[in-house]
Amino acid sequence: MDLRGTIGQMSLQFRIFVICFVLLLNVGFFTGFNFVRVTTSLNAEGIEQNYLGNEEDEEAEIMHFKKSEQEVLTLVHNHILSLSLIFFVLGVLLYMTKVNSKTKAFLMFEPFVSLLLTFGGIYILWKGLTWFKYVIMISGSLMVFSLLLMSVLIIKDCLIPLKEKGSQEKML
């Protein structure tokens, strides 16, 4: 299979393959995002409590205990490794779209910065720099927005292929 050109120039089989990958990737990613929603309530205090605990709050509805260094390092390690690969693949696919070069450049590199700030920020928060919870919220939001926008742009280019003059769509 020849992978030169844009996604819209690829065979129907390859474009369906890419759409399936991107959709399933989003199911997995947003399942994880739902876990974050449940454990942190998507607010700064929830993020802080999830990693630093709330044992001193006798009125807390749900008791959280400070995570061990091993737990935090495992979380940071696993997420940085796996999400960097995910964003690499999405970046390669985005590179093959018709999206303008400035948007491509931003979306190809921003998730890596957000990934480092979000998960590096979790470790920094755990070490005691509690204001970093706001950096985690902002960078995490940008990372989610980037993944969603990259996915939409990739799928759009797969669904609206470029037609060369006089050529027929390659069949499955």
Average confidence (pLDDT) over 108-123: 97
Between the CA of residue 84 and those of 114, 147, 149, what are the distances in Å?
Answer: 10, 12, 17
User: pLDDT-derived band of residue 55, with 50, 70 and 90 as boundaries?
Assistant: confident
State yes or no: pLDDT of 122 exceeds 70: yes
| Average pLDDT over the chain, rounded to an integer | 90
pTM of the complete model = 0.87
Describe the chain by its helix, strand, coil percentages, rounded to 5: 70, 0, 30
Q: Which amino acid is at 99?
A: V
